[in-house]
Structure 1
Amino acid sequence: MSLETSDRPTATEPARTPGPAGSRVPASTPNLDPAPARRGARTTRRRRAGGLGIAAAAAGFILLLLVLQEVLTRSGVLPADYFPPASEILGALVDEVATGDFWSALAATATTWLLALVISVVGGSLLGLLIGVVPPLEAFLHPVIEFLRPVPSVALIPLVVLTIGTQSSAALTLAVFAAFWQVLVPAIAGARSVHPITADTARAFSFSRVQRVRYIQLPSMLPYLATATRLAASTALILVVTAEIIIGIHGLGQEIALSRSASNPARMYAYIAVTGVVGIAVNALVRRAERALGTNGSEGR
């Protein structure tokens, strides 16, 4: 009877593959542990639950304020001429939503805001990239940027009305001026945030200027631009509504001003509430775009 052992694996012995110098090494097997996937799913569920919890808490707080305001106004603690009951504000909002003027004003404000945001993001990103790529250009433009950036957009309203008039382009100009700087400065910082080792590697591989911009500087700018876009979106909306109120341009701001002039505080508060909802929607939209693009707004790499 032969006493030789077989090289074939048994049921209790893992499969082996030949190693160096005739040694046998257990064959590699794929990692089938489902724990990481389960942990990722749990993290996602916790984030969603946390977001829903925050939203529910915010909604409950707003509801509490509305009930408190209703009670204080009905009891005479708050003057009804300045603080109408929440029920009247809600009724005015329902009445306005049923009219075409409401949707026309909402569309006008949203269109001007979107145009201002696109112009600001595209223009600020391109100029910031150009300044980051061409350092002498910053030395030339730095005094101009530092002079214009602190100027409040509201201070330019008389000049804009004098040169452009009271059309929607006036609100667009003011919003672009305010939001542009929110994008330009982070874009410059992002274009210059390339790690020295990455820059040395690009030079070692003889990257062209276009390749450095496409594969190194643009990816470095994305986290900065994510935060800048969110700030620019809010700034542009604020300036659009402000211009509509002060100049009298068609939109949500004009409806607020008209309600105030007509001594209709319930309608005025209804449009103010709509403006707040639009602001929340704008912020949520930009954050969703960040997640879709894979950026979280964190600066620095």
Structure 2
Amino acid sequence: MSRADASTEPATEIAGGRPGRSRHTRGRSGMPPLRGLLPLAIGLLAWQLLADPGSPYFPPPSRWFAELWASARGGELLVALAQTTVTLFLGLLAATVGGAVLGALIGASRGADRAAGPTLEFLRVLPAAALVPLAALLLGYTQSMKLAVVVLPAMWPVLLTVRAARRSVSPVLLDVTRTLGLSWWQRTRKVLVPSLTPSVLLGVRVAGPLALIISLLVEIVTRIDGIGALMGAAQANFRSAQVFGLLVVAGVLGFIVNLLVNRAEEMVRSRLSGEVRR
């Protein structure tokens, strides 16, 4: 075998996608490599070995999980986790649908886009915490109030990305569909939905962690049932081990949400690319 053949063989194998390669394996499964968790595991192990078991502020991880187990056996952890999860996914779903529809409608008209621009920018920069007192006055300390506070800030990433994508859709392309005699539904399904879907997915990727942060924030401030309410109560009672443990639960929930969003994005992109090939 010549030197040129030897030098091109590894590149050919990489380009051809040899089974078992990490990049292609990750693309098929949607899962990040588990070795990425190694630094976290090493850090927790070092914390466990070096921490003072009696420390009131920095307890070792073994005490975190002991507190979580006690809360799980009492049932309060599972109830709180269910409340936060329901709020998170319902809020993200409502924010996605509302943001996509409003973004498409505003971006479709230059006049509406110019008129709504200052208002959108003003509402976008409002802190989520500032909405809690007003929402509590209007809706009370209820799950509906928590959901409303989550939806509004989480909607902006989807709305703004879809708005920009709708403005960039070529008018010539839409004129061609009208010339071909396609109905409004056919134009929407064959042109607008494929054009706007990547922007919707990008907005959802940003809105997912944001919705989780806001859910925890509202629960901590208002003490409505959820992980944040448990965390606030533990902090008020100086139970630092339980606070650290609940923080781990919130991180795991955020990791799962991000994984589900990435997986949904891969499925949608694969389906859209398959329709384009057909």
Shift of 1:210: 3.8
Instruction: Specify which of 223, 229, 247 is matched with residue 254 of structure 1.
Output: 229
**Aligned residue type for 1:198:** L
Q: Which has the higher contact order (CA 8 A, sep 6+)?
A: 2
**Equivalent residues of 2:67, 2:242 under 8 A apart:** yes
Instruction: Specify which of 136, 141, 148 is matched with residue 166 of structure 1.
Output: 141
Comparing 95-104 with 80-89, greater Cα deviation is found at 95-104
Q: Does residue 225 of the first structure (1) align with residue 200 of the second (2)?
A: yes
1:47-126 equivalent positions in 2, closer than 5 A:
47-48=24-25, 55-74=33-52, 80-126=55-101
**Equivalent residues of 2:30, 2:259 under 8 A apart:** no
- SS of match in other structure, 2:51: helix
Q: Give the whole-Å Cα distance in 1 for the aligned partners of 2:106 and 2:32.
A: 41
Q: Could you say which structure has the higher helix fraction?
A: 2
| Matched residue count | 258
Instruction: Specify which of 157, 182, 201 is matched with residue 176 of structure 2.
Output: 201
Q: Give the whole-Å Cα distance in 2 for the aligned partners of 1:151 and 1:52.
A: 34
Q: Give the whole-Å Cα distance in 1 for the aligned partners of 2:20 and 2:47.
A: 39
- Name 2:215's counterpart in structure 1: 240
- Name 2:166's counterpart in structure 1: 191
**Equivalent residues of 1:226, 1:295 under 8 A apart:** no
Q: Give the whole-Å Cα distance in 1 for the aligned partners of 2:147 and 2:104.
A: 24
**Equivalent residues of 2:68, 2:77 under 8 A apart:** no
Comparing 149-158 with 102-111, greater Cα deviation is found at 149-158
Calculate percent identity across the aligned residue pairs.
32
**Aligned residue type for 1:248:** R
1:126-141 equivalent positions in 2, closer than 5 A:
126-141=101-116
**Equivalent residues of 1:190, 1:222 under 8 A apart:** no
| TM-score w.r.t. length of structure 1 | 0.77
Q: Give the whole-Å Cα distance in 2 for the aligned partners of 1:44 and 1:62.
A: 24
Shift of 1:148: 0.9
- Name 2:7's counterpart in structure 1: none
Rate the CA distance shift 1:85–1:43 in 2: closer, same or farther, 3 A.
closer
**RMSD of aligned Cα (Å):** 2.8
Over alpha carbons, which structure has the higher Rg?
Answer: 1
Rate the CA distance shift 1:40–1:70 in 2: closer, same or farther, 3 A.
closer
Deviation per residue, 1:184-238 (Å, 9 max, x gap):
0111122233246534533542444443322111110011111111111111111
Where structure 1 has 5 or more consecutive residues not aligned to the other structure, the ranges are 1-34, 297-301
Shift of 1:262: 1.6
**Aligned residue type for 1:245:** I
